[in-house]
Amino acid sequence: MQLTSIKLDTERFTLRPLISQDAEALFAIFSDTDVMRYWNTPPWDSLHDATQFIKQSHEDLTTQKALTLAIVSKGDKALIGKCLLFSLDKESRRAEIGFGIAKSQWGQGVIPEIGTALIDYAFSTLKLRRIEAEIDPANIGSAKVLAKLGFTKEGHLRARWEIAGDVSDSALYGLLASDPR
């Protein structure tokens, strides 16, 4: 299976591999402290962070370690975020899922729409059995979206991350291919 040529379409968005021309738009999104508030890394400092992320995403696609896709609006062709399946484990048929979108897109149903497409691809094409998500328990918006996508909260890990001196817990969610959605 060739992940480097993947393209998924939803009603409003196209999901495709990141390209070097995406660096400025990605940097604008992931240098925003509000967008990065609940991530396990600090906000990006420079355009170099974005170009390195794109380079790494291509390596991960080629080696099938992770699938990172740009979220592009069909209307104006603007990149509004990224979604990914990472920690791909072929033997166990599992992966973790993640999303990040521009603050201007929050609350507009982007993640349920593109998440459904990515999950369908993961279960039908990649033949995964399980998808996991890990979020900061304070991230109520992500918890609601995961519930909409059919995920079940399965656990809570105390003091899991420390980012820039701030310690946070993790809430763990899971979705099985056999779960009703």
Which of 2-11, 58-67, 132-141, 154-163 shows the lowest mean pLDDT across its residues? 2-11
pLDDT the model gives residue 113 = 98
Q: What is the pLDDT of residues 143-158, one digit of tens each?
A: 999 999 999 999 999 9
Query: Of 5, 99, 20, whose CA–CA distance to 56 is shortest?
Result: 20
- List C-alpha distances in Å: 87 to 17, 46, 60: 17, 26, 10
Q: What is the pLDDT of residues 94-122, one digit of tens each?
A: 999 999 999 999 999 999 999 999 999 99
Token reading at 86: 């990472």
| 53 has a pLDDT exceeding 90 | yes
| 2 has a pLDDT exceeding 70 | no
Residues 6 or more apart whose CB falls under 8 angstroms from that of 132 comprise: 94, 95, 96, 97, 172, 173, 174, 175
Model confidence at 164, in pLDDT bands (50, 70, 90)?
confident
Q: Is 31 helix (H, G, I), strand (E, B) or coil?
A: coil
Number of C-alpha atoms within 13 angstroms, CB side, residue 110?
Answer: 25
| 42 has a pLDDT exceeding 80 | yes
Burial class (CB in 10 A: 0-12, 13-18, 19+), 27: buried
| 166 has a pLDDT exceeding 90 | no
pLDDT the model gives residue 3 = 67
In angstroms, the CA 137 to CA 168 distance is: 8
